[in-house]
């Protein structure tokens, strides 16, 4: 018998895989399915439009998403516009900001 023989009685059973990734994928699929459905309707409507008939496509989710993004952009623009207009632009700040931005981009491209 060898000095360091493996112990045959301490064999652990294989670990079960976690169900969390599968649940996340299913949840994301269910959340994105209305958007995919409406986008598919728009694509098929454009293909049907090439034959001469112009179908009407109702897209409430895409309309809601578009209006929400539009209002968020308007709010961001109205908030940041006065701040950026009254900001004194020193070249030292701009050069440091540009170098920081470029180095961050280089680090992101490196990985």
Is residue 5's pLDDT more than 70?
Answer: no
For 27, list phi and psi in degrees, rounded to 5. Answer: -65, -45
Report the pLDDT averaged over residues 4-13. 64
Nearest alpha carbon to residue 59 among 33, 35, 85 = 35
Six-digit token pair at 32?
């994105």
For 24-82, write each residue's pLDDT tens digit.
999 999 999 999 999 999 999 999 888 888 889 999 999 999 999 999 999 999 998 88
The confidence score (pLDDT) of residue 101 equals: 95
User: Could you tell me the residue ranges of all domains in the chain?
Assistant: 22-51, 72-111
Q: Round the average pLDDT of the chain to a whole number and report it.
A: 87
The Cα diameter of the chain in Å comes to 86
Six-digit token pair at 81?
């516009």
Please tell me the distance from the alpha carbon of residue 66 to that of residue 71, in angstroms, as a whole number. Answer: 9
C-beta of residue 47 within 8 angstroms of C-beta of residue 71: no
The confidence score (pLDDT) of residue 36 equals: 95
The confidence score (pLDDT) of residue 29 equals: 96
């Amino acid at each position: 018998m060898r000095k360091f023989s493996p112990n045959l009685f301490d064999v652990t059973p294989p670990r079960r895989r976690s169900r969390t990734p599968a649940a996340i994928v299913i949840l994301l699929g269910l959340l994105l399915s209305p958007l995919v459905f409406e986008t598919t309707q728009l694509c098929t409507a454009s293909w049907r439009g090439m034959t001469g008939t112009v179908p009407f496509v109702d897209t409430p989710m895409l309309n809601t998403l578009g209006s929400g993004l539009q209002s968020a952009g308007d709010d961001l623009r109205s908030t940041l516009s006065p701040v950026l207009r009254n900001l004194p632009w020193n070249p030292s700040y701009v050069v440091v900001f540009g170098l920081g931005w470029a180095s961050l981009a280089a680090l992101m491209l490196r990985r």
